[in-house]
Amino acid sequence: MNKTAIVIGATGLVGSHILNQLLENDDYASVKVFHRRSTGIDHPKLKEHIVKFEEIEDWKKQLTGDELYSALGTTIKQAGSQERQYTIDFTYQYETAKAAAKNGVAKFSLVSSAGANAESRAFYTKLKGELDEAVKELPFEVITILRPSFLDGARQEDRLGESIGILLAKMFTKIPGLKKYRPIFAGKVAEGMINSLKKCPPGYHIFELDEIFYL
């Protein structure tokens, strides 16, 4: 096959795995990456676009292809404020998805978060839930949302609190009934996103926690 995939967030934990798996997948002839800095990868399939997400009007016409994978995100510590985190995690991803759908991209996969709920009182889970609901209205043929628990894998930046959380989660999820909350390797999430767009019928699909392990 000669599909073209689009990836945003390709230097992040999940996004880097999405990119690498797509580049090694014979179903894809081209992989477009839109990011603020280079991935540092040299590959014949890779087409990098260094962009400013706040200036999407300048590059949105280039968002063409068959599938869009969205794994863009940050932490409140990195962002510096809730307002800035909302801009990165919601606005940039939503506006990119909206532009891609308008350009005829048929399929869209988004990595969300466990507990995502637009009615949540917690800022982060509310943000993720609002995005999940917003993209539901976009005219993609297939939309898949993956809501993993703790993400395991080597990050570019040190997140001590998250590392401790993963260790504790690995201990407590051995308790019967808590297994579905166990940490998941970021590469497994990436694989699930790619497989979900390959396998799922037209429509809107959400995969919670342990469901992702079987994608």
CA pair distance 201, 189, nearest whole angstrom: 19
Please check whether residue 49 lies inside any domain of the structure.
yes
Per-residue pLDDT, averaged over 186-204, amounts to 96
- Is residue 66 assigned to a domain? yes
> Which positions ≥6 away from 20 have C-beta within 8 Å?
none
168, pLDDT greater than 80:
no
Establish if 106 belongs to a structural domain.
yes
Domain that holds residue 32: 3-154+184-214
Residue 125 resides in a domain: yes
The answer as to whether 176 is a domain residue is no
Q: What is the mean pLDDT of residues 49-73?
A: 97
What pLDDT score does 179 carry? 57
Q: Report pLDDT for 151.
A: 82
Is residue 147 scored above 80 in pLDDT? yes
Percent of the chain's residues with pLDDT above 70: 86
**Is 56 part of any domain?**
yes
Residue type, 122: A
> Is residue 169's pLDDT more than 70?
no
Sign of CA dihedral 181, 182, 186, 189: negative
Residue 48 token pair: 């990098």
CATH number at residue 103: 3.40.50.720
> Residue 155's pLDDT band (boundaries 50, 70, 90)?
very low
The number of distinct structural domains making up the chain is 1
Does some domain include residue 28? yes
**Does residue 13 form part of some domain?**
yes
Distance CA 83, CA 60 (A): 23
What DSSP designation does 170 have? Answer: H
Instruction: Report pLDDT for 133.
Output: 97
User: DSSP secondary-structure letter at 214?
Assistant: G
Rg for the chain, CA atoms, rounded: 16
